[in-house]
Structure 1
């Protein structure tokens, strides 16, 4: 059975094997606690009738521009939605993580049981004393409001289904799959702030069973409407720090984050600019707010829930954190941006519960805000969408999404899939900035509006990290370019830093498979038929290869 090492997508390294084990609650007792919480003072409050002592610190929900390097109004735009009594009521968010503090005073657990995939019990609470990532994720999405405790979540009336997947050193493909299929009919959203380790610059495949599971969630989850699976883009965008030009990870090197059935989330800071650590990628959908940076250093992080007491990230003893150890002000990364987007989806489904997963994706794309408008990578694709390799379609905007959904027409029909397989014996010119191209002709696809594109390469290049791969849609469709891979640095070890050996970093040596599949959201709404152009550019001397096998897969309607 295949096993892989997984890291949570946070800027803090967590090594579970060195943690102190916490006593696991008796399952029956824990279920009784859950029943008590369902009737406690963290019940949903639709009217503004109370306060939350840490809400003033939550700039991602209300950015007044007072923080250094911040831009007023650069937040999730949730308050006008809350004023309409839309707070995520009845929506269940499955948080796939290192567990959740099920007894937290500011969270509401669902009556639908969660699961601990280590012990195979319905109690998803943390097992280690310094676990707390899943609790912080849950708070960003759905911490209770107006109860005199902590801060608020984006959807403060939504409920959490905890799924403890990550408290193990290696994770089986079967557990990965079950993390997505558990409570598949009952959960509306699956939040995933985890993925392969950051900063290595290596390709990482996902397992066949996980792919099947997220496809099942997409097609059959939420009683056939489809479960919305949000996925963190990754934090490998600035391995050398804010001011470093070192380039390693791209979100598209992650076979989880580039899957067509997930909605991949990047991160922006208080100024609406890309958080340096947030990975670029043609696969990005929207960004959420998280700790960002100015030109030289990181700025204000996110205030959210932490495992209660001296557990989790905040032990209550650091001058750099809150004195109330049930909360933390240091949450960050695409780990935090992702549940913010999950919370916006919860607001959307609260008001419009019959939206399909495909509806939700396109509503978020159309309503996304063009943040950092001066960024040079912004362009408009052939269907009129703003697109950017740093930001996807832009920053999530709850108010705009709800407004657009009010007049939305459900996307008709089924998700079509069309494939073209071909190959080329053309040599990829060594160390040449022009590169070489190959054409892929799509005809008779029946797809007039693309929803996702995949490109699979089987090039035999022995040092894949020096390749740049570009995919351009037909000129009649828009001629939109997707940068799928970039010339970058690759490491086999980070401490001490050990670069991948020259001539020994092929697709096969990195993944164990002879091909790798990239994804792109940038062609949303474009026509599929026509001649697609793939360009391979070799960025360094010493390795010669051919283009080899290619497959273009187009999804849409």
Structure 2
């Protein structure tokens, strides 16, 4: 079944054909107070009966524009630019928009706004030599392998033994990522690097910043554009070649999509990046997002949302592309549920841990995080991720959730080699079932490990735990594709309610989870609380949602830097994965309170409960080899419920 769902009041459907203007309310940034920026890019839709690249080229030329190509492969939607306009200005160009709209062959013309997208990485970039250590004679012989504690943690640099991705257990099964391609959506990839060049997929690569097929990084004195090359090495650096370290999936292919290196991002650049070659690319890895300043609320715009939905519906020849997202580096003053990319149910949001099991101090927390990988060392903060760097060199200091997301992409590449029939949803289920608590813990003791209603252990920082490549590969080989997914508007309220300055506002919604209809949901995957509210200080709002089975998710934490008093949240989808596998039927509770130094006032105007999952039980037919595994625990919970 295609991943589409209906809105609660307007009949909106999200599909691969169109996203209505109303949908923008979910993903435009209600909290941005900076002046709007307008670029020299225009979205143009041709009139019915006029389509094709040649026609669009002619229309653009006679109006003084350049056609950069179709949007998401469409035959009548195009990306026009005007070289006579600056790339960024504070005023909309009404004459240029009017010129396009007056053309009889153009149906819609919209000037693109520009917005910031920032790379996620904490430490300053540090350059090292190509090889500065003698080769290691055991395991992979690559000289930096002994520094790759996240691949094999032997306690080096103060780490905790066996706290790693357990990749050797996957490699021992003969799985190394063959025939899988991961696209690094970033500032470019040095595809001439000796540790990457033989695993580079040129056909799947493109430069959307310069509009050519060569996504080579733009070199600067500060090496700022080394970000994508570092991420690429984590996934696909070659093994046993005497250079740098080794990738998680060292026989997989890596593609470069250069799209970050311009003053402002636009919706069309993002959309075409996420929709580029969806049948050649299996996994898209993104180590960037809205500004991690603790006050920004932002996410995908219209075309980008269409690209992601089209990717999960149609990519990989219908199995669905996997979008991996770094959860954010805003630390405890930010909340990744305010990032519409990381909090999307169509992406896999990855947080990070350091080599002794603590969370990194830059880690954001939120209920939408699915799992974690690794970033820095504990005792030595410069002991980061060892990987490839610019000029054919290596580094040991790549860090942040920027480093965590590509590690996850590498693990998923291993799973896809083990079973090339896995869907995008299968990958998420496998992540939930095989991630491990291991030794992960919150250094400040705020978030503890908790059991949900079907026995799955989760943590507000780490999701369902650290990825286990060996376990994921083993289960992938036995996997049966999960049942069809449905989307149910469980219940809603639209009567405004005042949020008290002291104490909590408790709201309850009763749902039968669309029982007896074609969209019935009995086994949960993702749950969204779609909320409209405003307050005198948005950052002091804290919200909890509790499921009928008693699982309490913090869907919004305090953000002390967010002093918004005007925009609030407008139909913002706060998402939780913590209720995975539960029965949604019954009473859901939303608790809203202020947590700040001064009294505040606010109103919640609407709350819609969106339930996403299956009608039929998942995991039927999967063999249980370990009676203590998550798979065994959840299957038993589902069987007991069916008997009851």
Q: TM-score, normalised by structure 1?
A: 0.82
In structure 2, what is the equivalent of residue 81 of structure 1?
Answer: 170
Number of the residue aligned with 1:404 = 475
DSSP 3-state at the match of 1:283: coil
- CA spacing shift, 1:470–1:381, aligned 2, 3 Å: same
Match of 1:255 among 321, 324, 340: 340
Do the aligned residues in 2 keep the contact of 1:236 with 1:250 (CA within 8 Å)? yes
Deviates more, 1:202-211 or 1:410-419: 410-419
Q: Is the aligned partner of 1:94 residue 2:161?
A: no
Partner of 2:555: 484
Q: How much has 1:506 moved relative to structure 2?
A: 4.0
Equivalent position SS for 2:533: coil
Cα drift, residue 348 of structure 1: 0.6
Unpaired runs of 5+ residues, structure 1, are 15-47, 238-246, 310-325, 492-499
Q: Name 2:540's counterpart in structure 1.
A: 466
Which structure has the greater CA radius of gyration? 2
Residues 172, 419 of structure 1: alpha-carbon distance in 2 compared, 3 angstrom cutoff: farther
1:12 offset after TM fit, Å? 4.3
Which 10-residue stretch deviates more, 396-405 or 407-416?
407-416
Maintained 8 Å contact 1:9/1:333: yes
- Please say which of residues 201-210 and 164-173 is displaced more in the overlay: 201-210
1:176 counterpart SS class: helix
Distance 1:387 1:50 in 2: 33
- Determine the C-alpha separation between the residues in 2 that align with 1:282 and 1:64: 31
| Alpha-carbon contact 1:451-1:525 (below 8 Å) kept | yes
- Residues 81-123 of structure 1 show CA distances to partners (whole Å, capped at 9, x for unaligned) of 1122210000000110001011111012114231111121111
Structure 1 residue 340 corresponds to structure 2 residue 407:
yes
Residue 274 of structure 1, CA deviation: 1.1
1:243 counterpart residue number: none
Conserved 8 A contact 2:183-2:281: yes
In 2, Cα distance between equivalents of 1:285 and 1:213: 22
- The secondary structure found in structure 2 opposite 1:300 is coil
Give the deviation of 1:351 after TM superposition: 1.1
- Check conservation: 1:423, 1:548, Cα contact below 8 A: yes
Distance 1:111 1:137, change over 3 A: same
Question: Contact 1:470–1:484 at 8 Å: present in 2 too?
Answer: yes
Q: Per-residue CA shift, 1:308-356, capped at 9, x if unaligned?
A: 25xxxxxxxxxxxxxxxx1111100001111101000000101111111
Q: Distance in 2 between matches of 1:328 and 1:50?
A: 17
CA shift at 1:293, angstroms? 3.2
1:251-298 Cα offsets, whole Å, 9 max, x none, are: 11111110110000000111122112111110101101111436xx73
How many Å apart are 1:62 and its aligned residue? Answer: 0.9
Residue number in structure 2 paired with 1:279: 364
- Looking at structure 2, the residues matched to 346 and 117 of structure 1 have their Cα atoms a distance apart, in angstroms, of 24
How far apart are 1:206 and its partner, in Å? 2.4
2:290–2:296 Cα contact (<8 Å) kept: no
Q: Deviations over 1:145-175 (max 9, x none)?
A: 0112111000001111110010011110111
String of CA shifts for 1:494-519, please: whole Å, max 9, x gaps.
Answer: xxxxxx3xxx43445xxxx7332211
1:408 CA drift (Å): 2.2
Residue 526 of structure 2 corresponds to: 452
Contact kept? 1:276, 1:292, Cα under 8 Å: no
Distance 1:546 1:268 in 2: 37
Seen in structure 2, the aligned counterparts of structure 1 residues 13 and 147 have a Cα distance that, compared at 3 Å, is: closer
Partner of 1:24: none
Give the match's secondary structure for 1:355.
coil
Task: Indicate the SS of the match to 2:535.
Answer: coil
Q: 2:141 aligns with which of 42, 46, 51?
A: 51
Is 2:213 the counterpart of 1:157?
no
Q: Does the 8 Å CA contact 1:201/1:250 hold for their aligned counterparts?
A: no
Equivalent residues of 1:202, 1:490 under 8 A apart: no
Q: Name whichever of 224-233 and 80-89 sits farther off.
A: 80-89
Q: Pairwise CA RMSD of aligned residues?
A: 1.9
CA distance in structure 2 between the aligned counterparts of 1:302 and 1:13, rounded to whole angstroms: 13
Residues 288 and 341, structure 1, Cα contact 8 Å, conserved in 2 = yes
1:328 matched to which residue of 2? 395
Specify the SS of the correspondent of 2:169: helix
Q: Which residue of 1 aligns with 2:619?
A: none
**Counterpart pick for 1:442 among 477, 497, 511:** 511
Preserved CA contact (<8 Å) 1:114 1:161: yes
1:110 to 198, 201, 212: 201
Instruction: From 500, 507, 529, give the equivalent of 1:429.
Output: 500
Contact 2:189 2:256 in 1 (8 A): yes
Paired with 1:554 and 1:272, the residues of 2 have a C-alpha distance of 33
Separation in structure 2 between the aligned mates of residue 526 and residue 49 of structure 1, nearest angstrom: 42
1:354 is aligned, of 421, 431, 439, to: 421
Does structure 2 retain, via aligned residues, the 8 Å contact 1:113–1:123? no
Cα distance in 2, alignment partners of residues 462 and 65 from structure 1: 49
CA separation in 2, counterparts of 1:420 and 1:207? 26
Cα contact 1:507–1:515 (8 A) shared by 2: no
- Number of residue-to-residue matches in the alignment: 476
Q: Which runs of 5+ in 2 are unaligned?
A: 1-111, 126-137, 515-519, 615-644
Q: In the alignment, is residue 394 of structure 1 matched against residue 465 of structure 2?
A: yes
Report whether the alignment pairs 1:378 with 2:468: no
Partner of 1:497 in structure 2?
none
Report how far residue 180 of structure 1 moved.
0.7
Q: Is the 8 A contact 2:499 2:505 kept in 1?
A: yes
Residues 1:62 and 2:145 aligned together:
no
Structure 1, 529-538 or 131-140: larger mean CA deviation: 529-538
The residue aligned with 1:318 is none
> Structure 2: how far apart are the matches of 1:307 and 1:554?
45
Q: Residue 50 of structure 1: CA displacement?
A: 6.8
Distance 2:353 2:347 in 1: 20
| Alignment equivalent of 1:291, drawn from 336, 357, 376 | 376
Q: How does 1:125-136 map to 2 (within 5 A)?
A: 125-129=216-220, 130=223, 131-136=225-230
1:524 aligns with 2:614: no
Structure 1 residue aligned with 2:354? 269
Equivalent in 332, 350, 369 of residue 436 of structure 2: 369
Q: For the residues of structure 2 that align with 1:374 and 1:257, how far apart are their CA atoms?
A: 21
How far apart are the structure 1 equivalents of 2:344 and 2:255? 23
- Name the CA shift for 1:292/1:50 in 2 (closer, same or farther; >3 Å): closer
Q: Deviations over 1:398-456 (max 9, x none)?
A: 011122223322102244343533223321111x2x31111122224211111111112
Contact 1:424 1:546 in 2 (8 A): no
CA offsets, 1:179-208, max 9 Å, x none?
Answer: 110011111100000011223333223212
Question: C-alpha distance in 2, partners of 1:255/1:192?
Answer: 13
Shift of 1:522: 0.8
The residue that corresponds to 2:310 in the other structure is 216
CA distance in 1 between counterparts of 2:156 and 2:226 reads: 29
Alignment of 1:10 with 2:10, yes or no, is no
